[in-house]
Structure 1
Amino acid sequence: MNAVILYTRRIEEATSFEFNVFDNQFATENLAVRKVMMAMLESVHPYLTQLEIEYNDSMLVEKLGARRAGELLRLLGSTKENTREHRSNDIVVSRSFHSEMSEEKYQYFYHMKDIAELPHYRLKEGNEDRIVFYFTRYLQLIAPDQQVAATFLNKLSSFSLPYKLVAIE
C-alpha cells in the first residue's frame, strides 16, 4: 500500500494534519481513509465538546434516503430551533446546525463507513476546530499540542497505515 500523504503546518501551539482527498486518490469509503478518521477521532476524543454540520437536503436524501437522512440528522442533534438555512437568491442551498457532542455522536463518526456521508462537518473543542471534513476536498485534524499530534501518528502506526508527512509553510 502506498503511504497516505498528510500535509502539516503549525498554527501557534497546534499542528494541522490535512488529508487531501484528491492528492491521496482514495475513495472516501476506503479503509485507509476510515483509519485516518479513526486515528484523528481517537487522538482528540477527550477534547470534543461541539459538533457543527452543514448539508443539502436533496443531496443527503439522495445519498441516504429520506428516512435514514431524517434519523441521522436527529441523532446528530438537528432541531427546528438550532437549524439555520443558507440561501442564495431566495433558494435554500444548505442548512447547518450546532449541537453538543455526545458519546453516541462520537460513535457515529468513529464507525462511519464513508467519511463523506455528510458533506461538511466540524468536531470542535468549544469554538476551536479539532476535526474538519470539507465537501470531499479534505479531512483535517488540528492537534492542540504535541502530545495529541504524537497520539495521532501513533494511532496511524497501530492501524498499520503507512503515512508521509509533507510540511507546508
Structure 2
Amino acid sequence: MRRISPVLVPVFSAVFIVGCSGESEDKGGSPEGVRSSSSDSGASDREKVLEERAEKALALRAGDETGASFVEAGMERVGDGIHTRSVLSTGASYSLAVVCSGTGEVRLTVSVKRTEPQTVACDGVPVRQRLADVPTQVGIDVDGLAGASGIVGWRIDEVVE
C-alpha cells in the first residue's frame, strides 16, 4: 500500500479548502463559473462607459430624439461584432447610424444593392448612411479589425418624407 507523504497532506487540504471557499463566494451574484477580479471589474466599468458613449452618440437614451421614425438598434462588444438581418418595408428609405466607441477600427458591411465594406474608426463619432429603396431584408455586419476593442452600436430610423 502506498502512503502519502506527511508534507503533501497540508497541501492537499489547503487546495481543497480554497476550492470549496471559492465556490461559496460565487453564489453571491456572479454567474456560475465567472469570477470577478479587480481587472475584470475595471474592464466591465470601461465597457459601461464606452456603451454609454455609444448610446449617447446614437441618441438611444430616453428623451433623445432625432426627428426620424425609430425602427431598431443594437449594441455589442467589438470582439463579438454585429451580424443582424433587419426586416424593413420594401421600397422605403432609412437612415443607418453606426458608432464604435473604443480603440482601433471596425469594418462595416451593409447588404443592400451593392456591398462595399467601409472602415469605421472607434472614435465615438457615428457614421451615417442613407438606405434608399431597400429590399425586405438588409444585412448589417460589423467586425473588429486587428487590435480593435470597445463597443459598437447601430440604429435604423425610417426617413419620413
Range into which the TM-score falls when normalised by the shorter chain: under 0.3
TM norm structure 1: 0.25
Structure 1 or 2: more helix by fraction: 1
Q: Which structure carries more relative contact order (alpha carbon 8 Å, separation 6+)?
A: 1
Kindly name which structure, 1 or 2, has the bigger radius of gyration based on alpha carbons.
Answer: 2
